[in-house]
Structure 1
Amino acid sequence: MKSIPKLIRRFFGVLMFSLFLMVFLNLALLIIFSYKQIGNGSAWTCADTVSFSLTAGSDHQYILSQDGMDALRQKNAWAILIDNQDMKVVWHSENLPSDIPLQYDLGWISLLTRGYLNDYPTATSEHTDGLIVLGFPKKSYWKLMWNTFDYQMIAHMPQTILIFLFLNLLLLLIIYLTVTFRLLRSVRPIVDGVERLPGDEEVYVKEKGLFSGIAQAINKTAEKLKHQEYELKKQEQARANWISGVSHDIRTPLSMVMGYAGQLETSPFLSPEDQKKAAVIRQQSMRMKNLINDLNLASKLEYNMQPLNLIPINLTGLIRQTIVDFLNMDLDGKYPIELLTDDSISVCMVTGDKSLLKRAVSNLIINAQVHNPKGCRIFICINLLKDSCSVSVEDDGEGISDEQLERLVKTPHYMMCGNSTSDQRHGLGLMIVRQIAEVHGGSLDLMHSTHGGFCAVIYLPLISVE
């Protein structure tokens, strides 16, 4: 639901920006329009220009200068001069319409000075001999003849404009918020449904309103995910049962193979060569048994079926004992193990299952031995960090390529592997180590060893020692 307030803020921000933009554009258009209308005052300016340009000659003939003629031509206007004494037209321009009278009275003068003359918009200007009247094309101007306004209205015009502007903005805000809240009320179930999809709870959105199509799609998706989850659980349970069954069923015949192979290995009736073959059978059977046990353990760890006996453990002592056990079994000395831990780290307390942690360290040692059949040196180091400790097991053997390391690090499941079945150099044993580290709240890192081989580092949380 955190997205709903964010959506409201986004809508409100868009509203404020839209209102600001609307006000700005309206003011800009008002200024442009007003400026253009102010230019219409040029009709009176043109009348003043003609009045100034019209002079009387020595023979009482009036002469219009070039400036006056240009002004009339530019506005497509005509002009007359009405005498002060008898109110007759004593001069007019050449383009005077035929329906314009040449004699006037006070009524005519009153009308043309503020409005029209025979539907021609007019503008007037004072002249030394009378009144200059300019007439413009009939549809060039629209003049208000009876335009009187209350003074108080004009005086309070700024406040009136602000009030109207505020009321308009308030109305827009009310409309916008009404539409937005209705939209959000329709969106809320959709958002809730989408947010609940990754969880375990059942998802159903009412299929009505503006987003009924989206609600229907969410319901179908939730139903499909639920069905897929059910099928996946069935498959995982079947796989776990299969692994457990195979591990149980193969244990008895495998024990018989190992027992008979051990007898043949020490039988005096066989040649040394046949005894070596029997030894190989026994060793490979033992390896097969360990692999089956690893597979069964990995399955139990994945499905939380492995009971954990969590107790405080001195990891340093556990590792020392594990090293001694492996050195005692390495009669040929092909895999010497060195503990590169500072003597000051005699105590490293963690909470864990002793058998599982020993299994993890043992798997890493066995991993180094199995993948270096010609022998190698194994180096184990314990380091204390801020809130955790690390146990690194590395060797100076053949190592691993960058591609193999990347594939091994990215393998998410112990049942997954590449297309090649002939080059499974590292796999199930390391996956079990990772699982053991994770059930103890730690992690596993795989990398190249500084000694030239392969390196695995287990990180486990420390516990305080009072």
Structure 2
Amino acid sequence: MTKPRRPAQAGRTVRQRFTALYGVLFLLSAVGLLAITNLVSLGSRISAHGGGPPSGAQLTLETAQEHIALLQSRLSETEALQSRQLLIGSVIALAVMAVVSLVLGRLVAGRVLRPLRTITASTRRISADNLHERLAVQGPADEVKDLADTIDGLLERLEGSFAAQRRFVADASHELRTPLATMRASLDVAVAKPEPVPAQTIALADRLRVELDQVDRLLEGFLTLARTQHGALSDRATVSLGRMVSAALDDRAADIADKDLTVHDGEVDDRAWTRGSRTLLSRMVDNVIDNAIVHNRRGGWIRVAATADGETARLVVETGGELLDQEQVALLIRPFQRLGTDRTGSDNGSGLGLSIVSAVATAHGGVLDLRARPEGGLRVTVSLPLAAALTGAPA
């Protein structure tokens, strides 16, 4: 349950901290400015002293008048010199304190804004796959702490919403299996009666079985998608992408022959191993191959490759066909997105295949990339962490 936010305590707010810091900096700048100005003008005042009346001489009226004129002249020169010195000192002090103020202001602003940078960096790292993480900012109960607690509360609510949505999908898919099984059993019983069954009833039963199988595949896709998004990676093992591809192609040899497809063997690197759930990774490879077979034209071709590059293992599946729009292709990772029957000549499929591939790849630290080939057709690339990079040992 989300804890209620506590208001910032009086006397400890960021506003008051900024006020205090800026006041201290302004005071120090003023003191420094006055000190530099006085030091510069002090020298000119010292040098201006001296030049008293002539000693040992008998002052006469004429001599006194000359001495007074000389003193007045020296006083004027001294005042002009002091004015110039004061102006130069003020300019120098202003320039020095401007530089010092900028440096101090940058240091103080960086220190005060450090918690905000921490909050920003932590928030960027949090996504739908790690909503359990929290900012947990430590410090005084000020506006920054209040902001961090608010974001933590939002993340907690989002995590609950995501978990509830995934549980609903998984529970609904599981519960719907029972009525589907009952419907399928009822069809079998109706068709298996000893008395003659009308041909229309048999045709209707076959049609319903096909639809029930489609719904069953859809529910299985929902369950797999929910399981993957929950991050429940059981039966972890180090698997070979090349072997999984070979097994998937062998299991679908009949479907490939039925559509008269040509399979071109691409590069298969023996180092293309990754680590994760064997069941989910196998489902991922099966979905990519199924997508290449089902959404392909009769007499088309498929090229499959499994490579290793640096710390990444890649599965690449290419198909020929018509020119596709890249913007529409990029949307295929969303559930129930299709390019239509014009490309495939078939409306089979639940629309979850590539969504499951993307979810499985993400759950294993990888990524799915879909590209429309310039020559026509589609290029599907699944990039996963190389097993050697994960384990630190050669695969």
- TM-score normalised per structure 1: 0.52
Aligned twin of 1:258: 184
Aligned twin of 2:278: 354
Once the 2 structures are TM-superposed, how far is the Cα of residue 219 of structure 1 from its aligned partner? Answer: 3.9
Once the 2 structures are TM-superposed, how far is the Cα of residue 449 of structure 1 from its aligned partner? Answer: 3.6
Aligned twin of 2:300: 377
Once the 2 structures are TM-superposed, how far is the Cα of residue 300 of structure 1 from its aligned partner? Answer: 1.9
**2:214 aligns with one of 277, 287, 290:** 287
Once the 2 structures are TM-superposed, how far is the Cα of residue 254 of structure 1 from its aligned partner? Answer: 1.3
Contact 1:434 1:444 in 2 (8 A): yes
Output the amino acid matched with 2:378.
F
Output one character per residue of 1:130-163: Cα deviation in whole Å (capped at 9) or x when no partner: xxxxxxxxxxxxx7157699xxxxxxx9xxx8xx
**2:72 aligns with one of 144, 148, 153:** 144
Output one character per residue of 1:393-412: Cα deviation in whole Å (capped at 9) or x when no partner: 23334674333124346x5x
Aligned twin of 2:69: 115
SS at match of 1:381: strand
SS at match of 1:435: helix
> In 1, Cα distance between the equivalents of 2:103 and 2:221?
60
Contact 1:378 1:393 in 2 (8 A): no
**1:310 equivalent in alignment to 2:236:** yes
Specify whether residues 331 and 145 from structure 1 end up closer, same or farther in structure 2 by C-alpha distance, changes over 3 A only. closer
> In 2, Cα distance between the equivalents of 1:260 and 1:296?
25
> In 1, Cα distance between the equivalents of 2:168 and 2:286?
26
Contact 1:336 1:378 in 2 (8 A): yes
Specify whether residues 403 and 429 from structure 1 end up closer, same or farther in structure 2 by C-alpha distance, changes over 3 A only. same
**1:458 aligns with one of 379, 382, 387:** 382
Aligned twin of 1:247: 173
Query: What stretches of structure 2 of length at least 5 have no aligned partner?
Result: 1-24, 45-59, 124-133, 339-346, 389-393
Specify which structure has the bigger relative contact order, considering alpha-carbon pairs within 8 angstroms and separated by 6 or more residues.
2
**1:224 aligns with one of 150, 157, 167:** 150
Report matched runs for 1:198-209 at 5 Å. Answer: 198=122, 200-203=134-137, 206=140
Output the amino acid matched with 2:159.
K
**1:323 aligns with one of 246, 249, 252:** 249
Specify whether residues 394 and 180 from structure 1 end up closer, same or farther in structure 2 by C-alpha distance, changes over 3 A only. closer
**1:407 equivalent in alignment to 2:351:** no
> In 1, Cα distance between the equivalents of 2:116 and 2:270?
55
Aligned twin of 1:298: 225
Aligned twin of 2:5: none
Q: CA RMSD in A?
A: 4.9
Once the 2 structures are TM-superposed, how far is the Cα of residue 375 of structure 1 from its aligned partner? Answer: 4.2
> In 1, Cα distance between the equivalents of 2:246 and 2:99?
77
**1:336 equivalent in alignment to 2:244:** no
| Identity, % of aligned positions | 19
More helix by share: 2
Report matched runs for 1:422-441 at 5 Å. Answer: 427-441=351-365
SS at match of 2:151: helix
Aligned twin of 2:309: 386
> In 1, Cα distance between the equivalents of 2:372 and 2:164?
37
Contact 2:248 2:289 in 1 (8 A): no
Report matched runs for 1:66-81 at 5 Å. Answer: none
Once the 2 structures are TM-superposed, how far is the Cα of residue 352 of structure 1 from its aligned partner? Answer: 3.4
Contact 1:442 1:459 in 2 (8 A): yes
Output the amino acid matched with 1:258.
R
Contact 1:369 1:375 in 2 (8 A): no
Equivalenced residues, count: 310
> In 1, Cα distance between the equivalents of 2:180 and 2:221?
15
Aligned twin of 2:163: 237
> In 2, Cα distance between the equivalents of 1:369 and 1:309?
28
Once the 2 structures are TM-superposed, how far is the Cα of residue 311 of structure 1 from its aligned partner? Answer: 2.1
> In 2, Cα distance between the equivalents of 1:242 and 1:191?
41
> In 1, Cα distance between the equivalents of 2:348 and 2:184?
25
Contact 1:314 1:350 in 2 (8 A): yes
SS at match of 2:242: helix
Output the amino acid matched with 2:381.
V
